[in-house]
Chains A and B, each alone.
Chain A
Amino acid sequence: MHGIRKVYPGVIAVDGVDLDLLPGEIHALVGENGAGKSTLANIAFGAVKPDGGTVEAAGTVGLVHQHFELVGRLRVWHNIMLGREPRKGTVVDVDRARSRVAELAERNGLAIDPDALVEELPIGVQQRVELLRELEREPSVLLLDEPTAALAPAEIATLFATVVQLAKRGTAILVVTHKLQEVIDYTTRVSVMRHGKIVARYETADTSVDEIARAMVGGELPQVAQREPTGAAPCFAARDVSAASDTTTVSGLSFEVHAGEIVGIAGVEGNGQTALADAIAGMIPYTGSIELDGDSTALRHRNNIGIVPQDRHHEGLVLNWSIVENAILGRQNLPGIRKGALTDWRAARADAAAIVERFDVRAASLDVAVKMLSGGNQQKLLVGRALIGDPRFVLAYQPTRGIDVGAAALVQSRLIEARNRGSAILLISFELDEILAIADRVLVMYRGKITGSFTGSEIDRGKIGRLMAGLS
């Protein structure tokens, strides 16, 4: 790629980038949210036309999108084999397709049920489908846009084992990621993007996480805020909650979150986190009770609570709406926003500006449609909305998914600051590091039950890890 340039209204997304991918190399592309990585990857793939520059590729190019391009209502095998269906006469040879997928999954260490309906799969598993789809095509250039954002650590290891294998066979690979440790562990070269330009390029062997991070943010990383002691007033309580969502169930969960406390739910994805979150949000029926300050209707009425949903595109944002409009979604009836029957757009705009400012959401203006924002900036907006106005209770599902290291530190700081001001925060995350970094108390979830609880000095990475794996 030479001299690639792409201009969107109000932003220069990619600004004169040169990038060569060599056969057999694993090239990391890192950068802040909105730096232009996805745009560059999409240009390389051919999905976006550049305004300038040339792209040349020897052979085929494959792209793993972070916002997957899957067909939800079709089965896994079909998604993977789309366009290359094995045939038996004029009909699709389903058995062959199925076994082909099973074998592919097996070979790459990505467990999958070829017959599952994609839309019923949790996001992490959908990620595997998206990946397998590209692997099946064996492109000579493979572009991976944040492939690990929704994967568990064990899966990340197997994924990269596959990627390394592919590279060994001569595939040129580009990985966009925000997890810098992956960069160090698996890649050969790394390019750092800032404001649409490549600002640094290293041989991975010659660099470090710190150096890359500094190049990314153009300075030092922000420090994560300090936790301050708070009084332990009970605030949120779940008692004997059982519920079932599409994919997971929980039974007999009981726990509390105190005001001024962050409780982290540690667990491998698919162990009931979705059902728990949906039950708390009142999206699915449940038995037992869920109360906020003794009131079981408060959650349903969305008074004074903040929620970061799991799927930002479908559950969190109205993609065609502006930042201002999105900033008050779920808060439209709060006294400050609602004036009689009317929406106080001035207040909404002030809130939006505050979110953008405090969470460093990078956008051309407050009035752009959020679909124009980069994925990480959309996520920051979502977290900012959940935290603005210091809600009494916050439910944060993977709040830093797809956010760059600098911004992740910022988001974590904001969570801790909210805690310090007395919010009760329930953090659901598949990244143990994140939980260990900011939670006051850790609950381990395994197969729909809480199998362990650790507070303060009891928190022990090893024990938690074992419980997460179902060992005792």
Chain B
Amino acid sequence: GRHNAGAARPGQLALGMVTDVGGLGDKSFNDSAYRGLVNAQNSLGANIQVLQSRSASDYQPNLTALSEKHLDMIYAIGFLMNKDLDQISKQYPQQHYAIIDAVVDDPNVVSATFKEEDGSFLAGALAALVSKSHHIAFLGGQDIPLLRKFEVGYIAGAHQIDPATKVDVKWVGSFEDVAAGQELANVLFNGGADIVYAAAGKAGIGAIDAVKTRQNAFVIGVDSDQDSMAPGKILTSMVKHVDVAVFDIAQAIQQKKALKGHLIFGLKDNGVGLTDFKYTSAVIGRSNIERVDAIRQDIISGKITPPSTPQGLVTWKPVKL
């Protein structure tokens, strides 16, 4: 098997991971987490095992199966596993666990969450700065609370630059339907938006496809660095470094460092952030890049607090700087 290197040798770091129903290949946090795991395999010499889940009722047996193997760390990828992990971690108090995107308050669990709204805020600000039509768009996968953090952060960021910027929002209704992602991106572009922030898993690939043949139009990628998928057409990617979180935790375990119960990954530690505009710096321009960086500092310093829920967005006002 590809993911299962067999039993760990004595002394070797043994890591396990349970994906959520999105599974490997989601081009989102499952993939990103897997990258972190592979990094651990390569640079820490870890032995890794991955179990994929087909439905919510698979989480528990999968977590149990790994727990029975007494690994050094078991990662539960995705907020949907929080209840199950809570239960399993109590059953195996000696076992260490980590969960991504949710908080489980048990002594043997490390929770890692990300400030997606902060990164998305930067993406929105950048889009508002670059947009010629003052009209940008957000394309979401499924309308779930986690994705709403991306949406509202993005809108707030745009409004921070120019409250008159129009932001269209559409949802694919799926993270898989690439064709639908493409057509919806087309609809958004044809509707006048010139930048689409595609936070839609695999369906986002469709948006990247849609932008390739268009002039003066851009997509902002998400989760991983997608900039090279259509060089020059992807303004930037709002990366969410689940891989970094996974790797950091593995490293801490190996070095027997104590871990905090809840790790929050934000802009400061590069847990979230924009890529380095490798292909697009010319289009964006120096001054815009500097403005975005200034906003980044303001968020880190606490001057700006991007909203993370639709309710928060309603009461949120652009911050006078």
Direct contact of A and B (CB under 8 A): no
- Which residues of B line the A interface, CB within 8 A? none
- Which residues of A line the B interface, CB within 8 A? none
